Structure 1
Amino acid sequence: MSSSSPAEPSPSAQSPEGSPANSPAPPERRRISLPPFWAQILAGLVLGVVLGWVAREWSVDWLSRTLDEIGGIFVQLLRLAVGPLVFFAIAVSITNLRKVSNAARLAAQTLLWFLITSLIAVAIGLTIGLVTNPGSGSNLTPADGFAPESKGSWLDFLTGIVPTDVITPFTELNVLQIVFIAAAVGVAALKLGERALPLVTFGETTLTLLQKVLWWIIRLAPLGTLGLIGRAIDQYGWDLLSDYATFTVDVYVGSLLVLFGVYPLLLWLVARANPLQFFRGAWPAIQLAFVSRSSVGTLPVTQKVTERLGVPKEYTSFAVPFGATTKMDGCAAIYPALAAIFVAEIFGVSLGAQDYVLIAFVSVIGSAATAGLTGATVMTTLTLSTLGLPLEGVGLLLAIDPILDMIRTATNVAGQATVPVIVAAREGILDREAYDSATSFEINEADVEPASAGRRNPPPRPREATA
């Protein structure tokens, strides 16, 4: 006879928590199921339009202020994260080149394809502008314009690359100077070899931490979209769409031609890769870029999708951060070309063949001045000042800028993922199996962390570290 009575179950019959096995299980906590991220963004967009219209039509001051604050805080949070993120992303990406045998060739090929795609994009922008004359049918006049608070010039661009100190570039968010400092630190770390490994490890850890914080900001994108779109509708109303109708259509058509025409064609002809498969894998980054209006803010997701498309992590960690600060086909190629033609027509200035050549030159060489944030004011003023056009024309463009910036940034990010795929395919380092199996995914916290997060790469050999 067993020593255990039926009324006293043996320890083996008890649950891990010590409760009897036949006791009712505690009710599971039901987590609130949120809709997909894209649906949250779409809801924020629609609600922003409605609230902006309500605030404007009924002059609801508190709603106007609320929309302004929500949109402003979201942009401010992005700006807060951008400076440190750019510095550590660029510095770490350069140190990661120690793991690549043909680093110099890959870097040169990346820069070359950045230039090629930028030339194609600016040519498309100029062609559309010359065919449609975006400023001729508008009711806008030079009196509607005003000079922007910040502007760009070639002198500022050339002399402003080297900072006067290491603090000001971060406080004033001069991305070009931050890139310069980060590049210097990264190259110095490469030269130091193993002695710089503690610094490299610190940089990788800090980058992971910053990307974790960035994820929290990204999660606020639906609210940010609500505030930014609502503020634009409240301030300018629907009338601005009629005055800027042709210009808006031109920017969207030009961007869509590059996004769904040029990039797929290059992938098919140069990389011998299926364009549909590229968009299937890269769509999360393109989608986030459209709503966040920030190439740098989208950087971690862009890097993640590029790796999922079969580009080696060591090369991706260099090419994508580099592209996020310099590769701007939407903001620095298509848009400045159309903006220059638009402003010239409003102010009655005739542009000649040499002016269009200058636009192409500025777009290709000066794109590094575009800060990878929301807006392209610096690049636009750089283009207008080079052509001798009134900078007051920039003020004409600010009203419609939030609506245009979404498609511009989506085009930027698509190009930042396309070029690494092309270069990797040409160099024979593209993982074709990974590319063909890449699928879209719902953005989550793990997608804004480096692929190596949570595990440390083995230290490189001395000869690799000093290569």
Structure 2
Amino acid sequence: MTPTAPEPGPSVPRTRMPRVPFWAQIVAGLVLGVLLGWIARSSDTAWLTTALEKTGGIFVQLLKLVVAPLVFAAIVVSITNLRNVTDAARLATRTLLWFLVTSLIAVLIGIGLGLATDPGAGTGLTPADGSKPETTGSWLDFLTGIVPTDVITPFTELKVLQIVFMAAVTGAALLKIGEKARPLLTLGESVLELLQKALWWVIRLAPLGTLGLIGNAVATYGWDLVRPYATFTVDVYVGCALVMFVVYPLLLAVFARVSPLQFFKGAWPAIQLAFVSRSSVGTMPLTKRVTERLGVPAEYASFAVPFGSTTKMDGCAAVYPALAAIFVAEVFGIDLGVADYVLIAFVSVVGSAATAGLTGATVMLTLTLSTLGLPLEGVGLLMAVDPILDMMRTATNVAGQAAVPVVVAAREGILDREAYGNAHTSPLDDEPVGAPAPQAA
């Protein structure tokens, strides 16, 4: 007689460490970074300051490592994807129009805040405190700098605007060639997927990057150095906050007829990463993913988000240069007239591509100052607080890069409103768009 097997006992559930939401990891990195930066500055601990600097620097270097090929591949693929979009020219035109409208609103907010608060008055700063930047921007440099002299230098020297130009020409040529270009299109899509996968791994290091970047800023600058710039710093943060939390929600509610709260619920991971990384281009894959999860068709998002990541800079190229021009003029004792403010608006709306999605807005600032005839030494005055300002500027940029495609898609009747209503806040996963996303560990 065969013995009967013993009945299995009750299964014991496996214990798992609870996953910490990605936003909580970022906040923890932010708080710990401020604490360590304060300790490093107050105790004059050189090794801790160096450690924070290297930690943040390596994170930014990893982001920049894939910027050049990522921009090229994304622009090429986005242009070729337009062949799958109905009324592609109409969508592209509407997107550009909304980019211009929001940039104009943003620069008017910057000018208004500057006139109301006089950020350069009473700072104690003098023209002697400034110094000319090593590289400057002018309209001639901007226009002639679009066309590269060779195909290698833009990638080695990270000249993003030239990379965008080459990618646009390549994409247009591939569209013109047609079916014969199919192998190259497939290769481009594969390369883009590869680069985005690599960038996802870097993005998961954002909490460590946050710790290093914020800690180094606190340890290096501190409140004593920031004090003369207090009004200017507050103006930049308030101006960007008005654009991000007032202008964009109004556009979404009035013109797209969607919930602004739901927009921020879906787009917040990209806005959060932009704040930390200070790079619109580095955030681009995440911006594209959250935009698609907000119901924007993938074919259109593949064009609008890369286009916006290199040209739409409401924080860096609208609010900031307007306030900076007023600040510099007041420090140097130069009166600005109505024509000067019109020029500020013109430069901000037309020249925003000069910022090219990289960290910092020095090129845009020098372009604005040179157009107005203001001393370029003013750039040196603002470099001390630039990293602190750049976080909020870049977050504003990315919010706009996600909001405008939603508005355009809604007005064109191609927005998936059900997907928009179900967008969630944790897209840092490797699942395809639309699938449930586990939170990052």
TM-score by length of 1: 0.89
Q: Which runs of 4+ in 1 moved over 4 A?
A: 20-28, 449-452
Which segments of 5 or more consecutive residues in structure 2 lack a partner in the other structure?
436-441
The one-letter amino acid of 2:3's match is P
- 2:172 is matched with 187
- 1:16 is matched with none
Q: Which residue of 419, 422, 445 corresponds with 2:429?
A: 445
Paired residue secondary structure (1:238): helix
Cα deviation 1:296-323 (Å, max 9, x = unaligned): 1111121112112221111111001100
- Distance in 2 separating the partners of 1:170 and 1:152: 19
Paired residue secondary structure (2:430): helix
Q: Is the 8 A contact 1:52 1:231 kept in 2?
A: yes
Q: Which residue of 205, 213, 222 corresponds with 2:207?
A: 222
Percent sequence identity over matched residues?
A: 72
Does 1:92 pair with 2:77?
yes
Cα separation, partners in 2 of 1:206 and 1:147, compared to 1, 3 Å? same
Deviation at 1:55, TM superposition (A): 1.5
Q: Is the 8 A contact 1:283 1:440 kept in 2?
A: no
Cα deviation 1:63-110 (Å, max 9, x = unaligned): 121111112111111111111110111100001001012001111111
Does 1:130 pair with 2:115?
yes
- Distance in 1 separating the partners of 2:49 and 2:246: 39
Q: Which residue of 6, 9, 25 corresponds with 2:3?
A: 6
Does 1:277 pair with 2:274?
no
- 1:253 is matched with 238
RMSD: 2.0
Q: Is the 8 A contact 1:151 1:381 kept in 2?
A: yes
Q: Is the 8 A contact 2:41 2:219 kept in 1?
A: yes
- Distance in 1 separating the partners of 2:422 and 2:284: 19
Q: Which residue of 375, 384, 409 corresponds with 1:390?
A: 375
Q: Which residue of 228, 231, 240 corresponds with 2:216?
A: 231
Does 1:359 pair with 2:344?
yes
Deviation at 1:423, TM superposition (A): 1.1
Cα separation, partners in 2 of 1:442 and 1:451, compared to 1, 3 Å? closer
- Distance in 1 separating the partners of 2:95 and 2:259: 20
- Distance in 2 separating the partners of 1:352 and 1:250: 21
The one-letter amino acid of 1:358's match is L
Q: Which residue of 23, 39, 45 corresponds with 1:54?
A: 39
Cα deviation 1:159-188 (Å, max 9, x = unaligned): 010101111001111110000011111111
Deviation at 1:386, TM superposition (A): 1.1
The one-letter amino acid of 2:300's match is Y
Work out the number of aligned pairs and report it: 435
Q: Is the 8 A contact 1:147 1:394 kept in 2?
A: yes
Deviation at 1:148, TM superposition (A): 2.1
- 1:411 is matched with 396
The one-letter amino acid of 1:104's match is A
- Distance in 1 separating the partners of 2:317 and 2:29: 28
Paired residue secondary structure (2:425): coil
Deviation at 1:25, TM superposition (A): 7.5
Q: Is the 8 A contact 2:292 2:433 kept in 1?
A: no
Cα separation, partners in 2 of 1:185 and 1:21, compared to 1, 3 Å? farther
- 1:298 is matched with 283
Paired residue secondary structure (1:445): coil
Deviation at 1:22, TM superposition (A): 4.4
For the pair shown, the structure with the greater C-alpha radius of gyration is 1
Deviation at 1:21, TM superposition (A): 7.4
Deviation at 1:24, TM superposition (A): 9.7
